[in-house]
Structure 1
């Protein structure tokens, strides 16, 4: 019978090799249990990284789209809130002005004129909305407030109606000022400080985007401001001492405010459609991310139960190796004595 043995030095070397191998397995399996991904990705895909690269590129692209959709959602939500504040500022004011438009109620006209001036300031402040360090209604000029101050606008209107002889002339002068084209010395030259072009589109997905073209120069927003501004002019002393004329101006302002409400509602409805589209895109992108993550897990994922079971087995082997090493080397304190 042939018997082959190895020396102590060789035995020690072999033991160290086993120890390093088992420690390597423990490190690999621990990583796979924690991360859920194979440590050796090349082996998992058999050296073919084409499919994995496509999945990773898709996930990075969708991450960029998520950032864009989140920004668009914040932008539209904040803008919807600002428009609600504009609508709230004019809500009820038109009806109150119409009910007070009689020569017998000059005090009520004066009170509503003060209210209109305050509400006009609130409207201008709401339209000067700033979202994520960008002015939302300035078009491409996002670093500039879209509207001048409320008092600046009212001061310009005072100059526009200064030479008006009748109530109709005053109303026409205010209308002309708000509707004047660029270069005409009206709203677009004095009140509006933004750009004519809208914001760049928000990318929502592959080949999908939404355009935010709304600015504070939108005719529907100007119409909403015009009625409140006309009523606010009464608080600046317009036709002071002429109750009949002031009542007629209040009546005209109330009519304008009520007539502007459908346009303001349409603006908010259009923005709501954009919000719905953004939400749909975000949901679609989220579902695609889930699909790609499943595909990536199929390619390089490590089964957590199998990895945990293998890790337990390797730990047992490592403990057994330490025990055998101690016995072989007689590393017992009692035997040493």
Structure 2
């Protein structure tokens, strides 16, 4: 009996050692990783909480990534829009500051007296001896020429390899300057100077974009806009911000805010715009270069400046439209910032829930390890002493 009892005690003691050692091993792993267990099954009743929280975190990560990409693109678009507005304002200021006195044309004035009225001297101003424009007008045209190229590049701005003003057609360049716009405007100016078009019809053609309404319209395709933009089939750009929210942050290169400025710049830079009044050979009284329509200098100036002022108004209206585009984008960006903050707060709560069920208190683990170490050491000592006992100790 004594042998059996001693063997049972020994086996029980071995099991207790194994249990303590396993616990010691688990605690050592917890101390090294900060985690309660290395497997989900080790979480016991908390396994469902952990899995659900991790799935929600992953879902939020996808939305946060979407929102961050959209916010970057909106920021790039806003920078482009603000630069476009700044340059449009510079040009509007140049137009407003342009003196509408005289013809801004070199050469002497040519006068005409009707030979059928020999007793009357009409002294009608019908043109000038040179078509060359003065420095002020040349400076204005040079500014329009340079700004046109700059503005076309702006509406073709990219975020990486994606065009930001192309709608959903992000891989298609919104505007290609193939020269068709210059050709169309030059043709309109020729017809206007030949009196085939009235001043009102010229202005209407420059402002209109629908050929079915105005046969002289400067359509989007003539300007050089892409087929999806010109046809109006381009899709909007959205960002999926959460399970129930999609935000539209579309800005298109052919919106009036951009289109009208580009058309106005193309008009002022067009080589067929000048001279303002007819160039006339005083020896023969022949017109050698046509100016604006009119039978005398005053009528020519009146028609020229009517179109001039209308194009200036077009630019100013476009600047107001640019503000509308900017405000819409700013509104979407503010909404994105709000959603992003909500996502981050929700993520923090979910991470906290995961930490609560998966992580351990390192200090508590360290204390327990020390306690087990002391207990294990004491058990080893007692066991060793018991194994040394024999009848000799009692004799």
Higher relative CO (Cα under 8 Å, sequence separation at least 6) belongs to 1
- After superposition, the Cα gap between the structure-2 partners of 1:221 and 1:37, relative to the gap in structure 1 and judged at 3 Å, is farther
State the Cα deviation string for residues 221-248 of structure 1 (Å, max 9, x = none).
3223333332222xx2423363846555
Contact 1:200 1:212 in 2 (8 A): yes
Contact 2:151 2:262 in 1 (8 A): yes
State the Cα deviation string for residues 149-189 of structure 1 (Å, max 9, x = none).
2755334433444422355443333223x45479x884322
Instruction: Quote the Cα distance in structure 2 between the aligned partners of 1:194 and 1:23.
Output: 72
Partner of 2:77: 79
Aligned-pair CA distance for 1:110: 1.7
Gaps of 5+ in 2: 105-133, 278-290, 292-300, 383-395
Instruction: Quote the Cα distance in structure 2 between the aligned partners of 1:277 and 1:126.
Output: 26
Instruction: Quote the Cα distance in structure 2 between the aligned partners of 1:116 and 1:321.
Output: 94
Partner of 2:43: 44
Instruction: Quote the Cα distance in structure 1 between the aligned partners of 2:165 and 2:212.
Output: 18
Work out whether 1:198 is the aligned partner of 2:235: yes
Aligned-pair CA distance for 1:117: 1.7
For 2:275, which of 240, 263, 266 is the aligned residue?
240
Partner of 1:100: 98
Contact 1:94 1:253 in 2 (8 A): no
Work out whether 1:275 is the aligned partner of 2:333: yes
Contact 1:201 1:211 in 2 (8 A): yes
Work out whether 1:187 is the aligned partner of 2:186: no
Instruction: Quote the Cα distance in structure 2 between the aligned partners of 1:95 and 1:56.
Output: 58
Partner of 1:297: 355
How high is the TM-score relative to the length of structure 1? 0.78
Superposition misfits of 4+ residues, deviation over 6 angstroms:
2-6, 13-16, 315-324
Instruction: Quote the Cα distance in structure 1 between the aligned partners of 2:25 and 2:324.
Output: 67
- After superposition, the Cα gap between the structure-2 partners of 1:158 and 1:209, relative to the gap in structure 1 and judged at 3 Å, is same
For 2:145, which of 100, 117, 142 is the aligned residue?
117
Instruction: Quote the Cα distance in structure 1 between the aligned partners of 2:357 and 2:20.
Output: 31
Gaps of 5+ in 1: 325-337
Contact 2:36 2:43 in 1 (8 A): no
Structure with the higher helix share, 1 or 2: 1
Contact 1:167 1:249 in 2 (8 A): yes
Structure with the higher strand share, 1 or 2: 2
State the Cα deviation string for residues 37-68 of structure 1 (Å, max 9, x = none).
5435423342x633322212211110000010
Instruction: Quote the Cα distance in structure 1 between the aligned partners of 2:147 and 2:371.
Output: 75
Partner of 1:253: 311
Instruction: Quote the Cα distance in structure 1 between the aligned partners of 2:92 and 2:74.
Output: 27
User: Which SS does the other structure have where 2:174 is aligned?
Assistant: coil
Partner of 2:324: 266
Aligned-pair CA distance for 1:261: 1.7
Instruction: Quote the Cα distance in structure 2 between the aligned partners of 1:49 and 1:14.
Output: 29
TM-align CA RMSD: 3.8
State the Cα deviation string for residues 62-108 of structure 1 (Å, max 9, x = none).
00000100011011111001101110111132232133142254421
Contact 2:27 2:369 in 1 (8 A): yes
Instruction: Quote the Cα distance in structure 2 between the aligned partners of 1:247 and 1:316.
Output: 101
User: Is 207-216 or 300-309 further displaced after alignment?
Assistant: 300-309
Across the two proteins, how many residue pairs are aligned to each other?
319
- After superposition, the Cα gap between the structure-2 partners of 1:319 and 1:275, relative to the gap in structure 1 and judged at 3 Å, is farther
